[in-house]
């Protein structure tokens, strides 16, 4: 099907798409600067539906074990099932009802979505895994009139060993990017990340958090674009210094094993709770490899594993179980 022809937000769509393509290039080049291997591009199209994307994938680097920086720009029809699944999180999204039959209109609503999502799993257990995602979503009624739009996203950090200075750097730079626009954003979005990345069955967070927001349309879209751009720009300065400092630290086999056990928790979170993964895997025509790009090269599960009290491993669990304030 062709792209939506509505012009209301055409410039926002174009600017967001241009932004994520620019940031994909900047971020992959930034990460390549601390590794000996390069990302390779893998472009894909959405078959019968509209749009496609470019996955930039890195693997078996000396610094990065596995990672991906994925841009996607997709559009088409949202089925009534998909709308119902999304309505809880997006109050403006309406399920159009046929006035004559009283049933949901079968073609649902038209949507446009674009975003950049990234997960980077470094090799050295002293280097944290990181995840970042910024996206824009827009829908139209079957008659072509605009229905809803929102931005969502955030960035978060998943260390295997806690270095407080790393957590402070990551949170502080992301807070600064938001504070430039509105000092109420970081406190809300930091708390939202702590709640969103919670692994309920383990009663602990996936990592030490960061920012998370969704369904955000409470400001002018041009201003939100600037907030997203500034948040993007906070990423490399908050992550590369950590990687440079830790990538060549010596580590033991036990420390590597601990990293794999924590990566098992990462897999649990992404496959059981992450809404994008859940929604994506249940959506016909979605690209499974791009969705599961977030999974690590290796993960491990050990029955009833608990780190020794007072160990560095136990100290990590202490902060993932009791989220702290990190920003300065």
| Residues marked as catalytic | 131
Angle at 248 between CA 154 and CA 298, to 5 degrees: 60
DSSP secondary structure letters along 223-274: HHHHHHHHHHHHHHHHHHHHHHHHTT----HHHHHHHHHHHHHHHHHHHHT-
Smallest distance from a second copy to CB 280, Å: 8
Asked if 317 is part of the footprint of a second copy (rule: CB under 8 A), the reply reads: no
Smallest distance from a second copy to CB 312, Å: 22
Burial environment of residue 172 by CB neighbours within 10 A (0 to 12, 13 to 18, 19 or more):
middle
DSSP H or E stretch at residue 76? strand 64-78
Smallest distance from a second copy to CB 255, Å: 16
Contacts 24+ apart (CB under 8 A), 90-99: 90/137, 90/148, 90/150, 90/214, 90/215, 91/215, 92/147, 92/148, 92/150, 92/215, 92/217, 93/139, 93/147, 93/148, 94/141, 94/147, 94/148, 96/141, 96/142
Asked if 42 is part of the footprint of a second copy (rule: CB under 8 A), the reply reads: yes
Asked if 94 is part of the footprint of a second copy (rule: CB under 8 A), the reply reads: no
Tokens of 287: 């690209």
Tell me whether residue 7 or residue 201 sits nearer to a second copy (CB atom). Answer: 201
Asked if 253 is part of the footprint of a second copy (rule: CB under 8 A), the reply reads: no
Tell me whether residue 65 or residue 166 sits nearer to a second copy (CB atom). Answer: 65
Asked if 59 is part of the footprint of a second copy (rule: CB under 8 A), the reply reads: yes
Asked if 55 is part of the footprint of a second copy (rule: CB under 8 A), the reply reads: yes
Tell me whether residue 104 or residue 264 sits nearer to a second copy (CB atom). Answer: 264
Tell me whether residue 145 or residue 252 sits nearer to a second copy (CB atom). Answer: 252
Q: Are 212 and 189 in contact, with CB atoms under 8 Å apart?
A: yes
Q: How many CB atoms lie within 10 A of CB 92?
A: 12
Stretch that binds a second copy, among 79-87, 156-164, 165-173, 289-297 (CB under 8 A): 289-297
CA distance 281 to 287: 8
- What phi and psi values does residue 324 have, to the nearest 5 degrees? -115, 165
Smallest distance from a second copy to CB 214, Å: 22
Asked if 293 is part of the footprint of a second copy (rule: CB under 8 A), the reply reads: yes
Tell me whether residue 1 or residue 37 sits nearer to a second copy (CB atom). Answer: 37
Among 200, 252, 253, 309, binds a second copy (CB under 8 A): 200
Among 3, 85, 95, 271, binds a second copy (CB under 8 A): 271
CA distance 91 to 149: 11
Burial environment of residue 60 by CB neighbours within 10 A (0 to 12, 13 to 18, 19 or more):
exposed
Asked if 297 is part of the footprint of a second copy (rule: CB under 8 A), the reply reads: yes
Tell me whether residue 233 or residue 268 sits nearer to a second copy (CB atom). Answer: 268
Asked if 68 is part of the footprint of a second copy (rule: CB under 8 A), the reply reads: yes
Smallest distance from a second copy to CB 267, Å: 6
Smallest distance from a second copy to CB 32, Å: 17
Q: Are 113 and 214 in contact, with CB atoms under 8 Å apart?
A: no
Among 85, 168, 240, 292, binds a second copy (CB under 8 A): 292
- Among left, alpha and beta (phi > 0; psi -120 to 50; other), residue 281 is alpha
Tokens of 92: 């403006």
Stretch that binds a second copy, among 28-36, 131-139, 212-220, 261-269 (CB under 8 A): 261-269
Tell me whether residue 10 or residue 302 sits nearer to a second copy (CB atom). Answer: 302
Q: Rule CB under 8 A: which residues touch a second copy?
A: 42, 55, 57, 59, 66, 68, 200-202, 260, 264, 267-268, 271-272, 281, 288-289, 292-293, 295-304
């Amino acid at each position: 099907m062709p792209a939506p022809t509505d012009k209301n937000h055409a410039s926002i769509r174009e600017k967001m798409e241009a932004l994520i393509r620019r940031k994909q290039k900047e971020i992959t080049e930034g990460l390549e600067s601390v590794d000996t291997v390069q990302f390779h591009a893998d472009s894909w199209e959405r078959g019968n539906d509209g749009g496609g994307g470019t996955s930039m994938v890195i693997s078996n680097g000396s610094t990065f074990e596995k990672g991906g920086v994925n841009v996607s720009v997709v559009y088409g029809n949202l089925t009534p099932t998909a709308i119902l699944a999304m309505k809880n999180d997006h109050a403006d999204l309406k399920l159009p009802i046929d006035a004559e039959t009283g049933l949901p209109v079968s073609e649902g609503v038209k949507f446009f979505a674009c975003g950049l999502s990234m997960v980077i799993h470094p090799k050295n257990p002293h280097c944290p895994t990181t995840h970042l995602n910024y996206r824009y979503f827009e829908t139209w009624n079957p008659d072509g009139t605009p229905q809803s739009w929102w931005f969502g996203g955030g960035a978060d950090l998943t260390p295997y060993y806690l270095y407080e200075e790393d957590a402070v750097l990551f949170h502080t730079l992301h807070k600064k990017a938001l504070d430039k626009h509105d000092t109420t954003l970081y406190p809300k979005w930091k708390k939202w990340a702590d709640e969103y990345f919670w692994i309920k069955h383990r009663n602990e967070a996936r990592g030490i958090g960061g920012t998370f927001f969704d369904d955000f349309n409470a400001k002018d879209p041009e201003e939100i674009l600037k907030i997203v751009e500034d948040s993007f720009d906070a990423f490399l300065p908050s992550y590369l210094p950590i990687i440079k400092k830790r990538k060549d630290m010596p580590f033991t086999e036990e420390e590597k094993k601990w990293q794999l056990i924590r990566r098992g928790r990462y897999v649990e979170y992404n496959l059981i709770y992450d809404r994008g993964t859940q929604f994506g895997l249940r959506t016909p025509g979605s690209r499974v490899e791009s969705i599961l790009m977030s999974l690590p090269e290796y993960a491990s599960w050990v029955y009833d594993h608990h780190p020794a009290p007072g160990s560095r491993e136990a100290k990590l669990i202490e902060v993932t179980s009791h989220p702290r304030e990190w920003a300065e």
